[in-house]
Amino acid sequence: MTKRNNSHSLNIAFSVIAFGVVALAGVGINVVIASLYTPSALGIFNQAFAFYIICSQVAVLGIQASTLKGVAHNQQDLQRALEIMLSALLLVGAISCVVLCFVFLAIPTVASFYNSGVKEALYGVVPGIGFFAINKIFMANLNGLGYIKTFASFQILRVLGIFLGIFYLSDISTSDAHLSYALSIGEGALFVLLAVRHICLFYRLQITFTRTDLFEHVSFGLRGMFSGILTEFNTRVDILMLGLFVNNRLIGIYSMAALIAEGFAQLSVVLRWNLDPLLGKAFASGRMDDVTSLVRDVQRKFVPIMLFLAVLSTILYPYALGIIAPASDLPEMGQVVFGILAAGIVLNALYKPFIGALIMGDNPGTFTVLILLVVVTNVICNIMLIPQIELYGAATATAIAYACEALLIWVFVRQKYRINI
């Protein structure tokens, strides 16, 4: 038992370190763009990034969650994990081809609602959408197997690939719109690395898949297919809706604060990476008491840390941004935006690490309903507040959505599993 606990603690420690690297590199991407270009370039890049993330979720169609669940329930059987993963890759590969065609044709219409430069930037992310969808299956397999260190390492490589792509593109092009090509470059490189890693992991096993797995992925994906799409849309809805009301410069200012806040919010996601395999084991064995004790332990230790970090980072925000971009208005306006978002993230941390319980407990439909309610709340609040107070309205709407998500996780997990969380 002690050995297992030590291993779990090491996984969490490594994940937190990896998170730190990913967060710094993510901020670095935006800092490089803001330093080498303008806030407008930053706004264009982040609008393209939002489009890229949402379309990638459409291409994977919830099958990554089915892969995670199936592999987590068969952690000790590599042959079975391979069969589950291969059937998922086959489906996602076919779906991605169709989605990419529709995306390419839809870009002119979508871009007509936004500011200049966005159209060309959207074309730049199209190849990366397909790679991202496939990579999600690879990553779900690693997470399900409990290879947390490997999983976290590839998260680092993903953001570093994008970071290097930004530097490369800044040398060969001065166009703001071309920066989005770094997303395709980074994801394509990650695809190669993930493929090699999985070949090394499974090369001795039989290459096979079953119809049963195909049907299971389709069934699970159809029940929860909108959850991934809505989850990513929820994290980007503020930037996408700001694009309809304000100029690229203001979007750039907001997106810098929002990106740092999103990195802060990823602490809950890092914890979820480590808790999902444990939840999978608890549901597979029917030991619901383990879930309750896990929730209590995490809330007692994790939430105070999040509160402390939120206050500290809000105070330090203008000083840090003042060093990075002293001649811009990123620090002053961004501090208020960040502070509002951070407050919502702290409330969200109460239950966000346990959202995977709905997937591990075989309730993808409920998971989708939860995310849909959060997105609807987010959209309505953004529509109401952005025209009135612009950037601060978007931040307030997003903070409300964060708090709403925590409340709904508490309600649905208690209702579905009779777990006292």
State the Cα angle at 306 between 407 and 323, rounded to 5°: 125
Is there a contact between 224 and 307 (Cβ–Cβ < 8 Å)?
no
67 three-class SS: helix
CA 158 to chain centre: 12
pLDDT at 323: 67
- Domain of 27 in residue numbering reads as 2-417
* Cα(106)–Cα(229) distance, integer angstroms: 17
**Which position has the token pair 């995670």?**
68
* Cα(106)–Cα(11) distance, integer angstroms: 42
* Cα(152)–Cα(171) distance, integer angstroms: 30
Counting beta carbons within 10 angstroms of the beta carbon of residue 75, is it exposed (0 to 12), middle (13 to 18) or buried (19 or more)? middle
* Cα(282)–Cα(83) distance, integer angstroms: 23
Instruction: List the alpha helices (DSSP H) in 246-363.
Output: 248-285, 288-324, 330-348, 357-360
pLDDT at 400: 96
SS3 of 86-123: HHHHHHHHHHHHHHHHHHHHHHHHHHCCCCCCHHHHHH
Which amino acid, one-letter code, is at 275?
L
Nearest to 237 by CA among 36, 54, 24, 63: 54
Q: Please write the tens of the pLDDT for every residue from 351-384.
A: 898 887 887 777 777 888 888 899 999 999 999 9
Burial 316-326 (b: 16+ CB within 10 A, else e): ebbeebeebbe
For the chain, the domain total comes to: 1
pLDDT by residue for the chain (421 residues), tens only, comes to 444 455 556 666 677 777 677 777 777 787 788 777 777 888 888 889 888 988 888 898 888 888 888 888 887 788 888 889 999 999 999 999 999 999 999 999 988 888 778 888 999 999 999 999 999 999 999 988 888 888 888 988 998 899 888 888 888 876 778 889 999 999 999 999 999 999 998 888 777 777 788 888 888 777 766 766 777 788 888 988 888 887 888 888 888 888 888 888 888 887 887 777 777 777 777 677 677 777 788 888 889 999 999 999 999 888 877 766 655 556 667 889 999 999 999 999 998 988 878 877 777 778 888 888 999 999 999 999 999 998 899 999 999 999 999 999 998 888 877 777 7
Nearest to 220 by CA among 379, 49, 374, 360: 360
Burial 340-367 (b: 16+ CB within 10 A, else e): bbbbbbbbbbbbbbbbbbbbbbebbbbb
Rg (CA), the chain: 21
Q: What share of the chain is helix, strand, coil (3-state, %, to 5)?
A: 90, 0, 10
Q: How many CB atoms lie within 10 A of CB 199?
A: 9
Is there a contact between 370 and 408 (Cβ–Cβ < 8 Å)?
yes
* Cα(176)–Cα(144) distance, integer angstroms: 39
Is there a contact between 317 and 335 (Cβ–Cβ < 8 Å)?
yes
Torsion of Cα atoms, 254 then 255 then 261 then 267, to 10°? 170
Half-sphere exposure in the Cβ direction for 226 (13 Å, CA): 12
Model pTM? 0.72
Nearest to 88 by CA among 126, 140, 145: 140
